[in-house]
Structure 1
Amino acid sequence: MTECKVGILLSGRGSNMMALVEQAHGYTVAMVASDKPAAAGLAWARGRGIATFALSPKGIGKAAYERALEDALREAGVEIIALAGYMRLLSDAFVGRWRGRIVNIHPSLLPKYKGLDTHARAIAAGDAIAGCSVHIVTEELDGGDVLGQGEVPIEPDDTPDTLAARVLAAEHGLYPRILSAFVAR
């Protein structure tokens, strides 16, 4: 039985991508792709012999960018896409073509705090618990079915940065475990 081929999309340093690669069980990472050709995560992936794709959408537009990205993913045999710090919104058409096969890690306990600034919003609300969620990507921002969550207590002296660091550590344990279960279903 062959393992499921996963493509990881990132925009930055790729710490969640690294966790997905290092803790892969039931899947192999066939490609790491980015909308930022200088993203640090690409160099890390290349250093481990993982195929990479990098293209900036600037100057070519979203549709052309997504066509090129999709061609690269299909050429690599990708079956599931894992968003790992990918900071672009995918078009409804792209999501539709990959329906049920794109997952994302989000730094809040969804459905709370969709979008950005999740840690500051949780602290400002006086929440006792923050965390992260792995969910199916749909056309609705952070609105797909939640596959798993990890909770992190909010400490009295937390800042958005200190909370973010602890939530990120929780993401690194949660995401590979949930992705392994997702590809096995």
Structure 2
Amino acid sequence: MKRIAVLASGRGSNFEAIARAVLSGKINAEVAVLIVDRKNIGAIERAEKLGINWVFVDPNGFPSREEYDSRIVAILKYLGVDLVCLAGYKKIVSAPFVDAFPGRIMNIHPTLLPSFPGLKPHEKVLKYGVNVSGATVHFVDKGVDTGPIIVQVAVPVSPDDTPETLSERILRYEHRIYPQAVKWFVDGRIELSGRKVIVKGADYSSLPVVPALEDF
């Protein structure tokens, strides 16, 4: 059985979506651990409610980012983790971290990448004036939100939207596409070749989600 780890820095709603999909049996895997870089956050409360082990690794206790990431990698290796999911994780993982889990780190970003990467994405979307935004699940590489794309969802932008209203509308889809991407990985259906990701047997023909949702 595949083992999943989730890294989070905030409220943990995507972490909970993945965990509940695992606990319900939709994803044939185990959530081995939640790792957090902050105390007193919602993700910890969700983990305790769901009975999932969590670990706080204090970034202030390490002289460099690489050494901090090395500690996390050591924990993940000790637990035999197969897939690492970043869910509202506020740090850019270092090159040694990426090298430790090539093609096995996922992230979710609340825009249609490669548009509007990085921080404050909804503010960027509204300032630019686009009519369609969305969310992207992608593999993590050594850039910022630049890794190979697994699945995307298109969500309309209203003229009256604020960053909060747009975020909330997109978040509902995030909670579906992220567990779906994890399930595809666990089921061995993802093929990665360079920048190209193919989900074997998936439907790529219709919006708003491409490849189409199958289980969520």
TM-score (norm 1): 0.93
- Aligned Cα RMSD in Å? 1.3
In structure 2, the partner of 1:28 is 30
- Alpha-carbon separation, structure 2, partners of 1:126 and 1:54: 39
- Give matches, 1:44-123, under 5 Å: 44-61=46-63, 62-123=65-126
Alignment of 1:10-29 (within 5 A): 10-24=8-22, 25-29=27-31
Per-residue deviation at 1:16?
0.3
* Structure 1 letter corresponding to 2:138: H
Letter in 2 for 1:158: D
* CA shift for structure 1 position 46: 2.5
Return the structure number with greater relative CO, CA threshold 8 A, min gap 6. Answer: 1
State the distance in 2 between where 1:47 and 1:152 align: 31
- Is contact 1:5-1:29 (8 Å) kept? yes
Aligned residue among 127, 132, 137 for 1:134 = 137
Aligned with 1:37 (options 27, 39, 43): 39
Preserved contact between residue 113 and residue 121 of structure 1 (Cα < 8 Å): yes
Identity of aligned residues (%): 36
Contact 2:110 2:136 in 1 (8 A): yes
Contact residue 108 and residue 135 of structure 2 kept, 8 A: yes
Alpha-carbon offset, residue 122 of structure 1: 1.4
How many corresponding residue pairs?
183
> Which residue of 2 is the match for residue 7 of structure 1?
5
Q: TM-score with structure 2 length normalisation? A: 0.81
Using the alignment, how far apart are the partners of 2:30 and 2:138 within structure 1? Answer: 20
Q: Secondary structure at the match of 2:16?
A: helix
The residue type paired with residue 123 of structure 1 is: L
- Consecutive unaligned residues in structure 1, runs of 5 or more: none
Could you say which residue in structure 1 is the equivalent of 2:196? none
For residues 68-95 of structure 1, what are the alpha-carbon distances to aligned partners after superposition, in whole Å with 9 as ceiling and x for unaligned? 2122212222111000000011111111
Matched residues in 1 for 2:127 and 2:94: separation? 31
Out of 154-163 and 69-78, give the one that drifted further: 69-78
Q: CA shift at 1:65, angstroms?
A: 2.0
Is the Cα contact below 8 Å between 2:9 and 2:36 reproduced in 1?
yes
Q: Is the 8 A contact 2:73 2:100 kept in 1?
A: no
Q: Helix, strand or coil: the match of 1:9?
A: strand
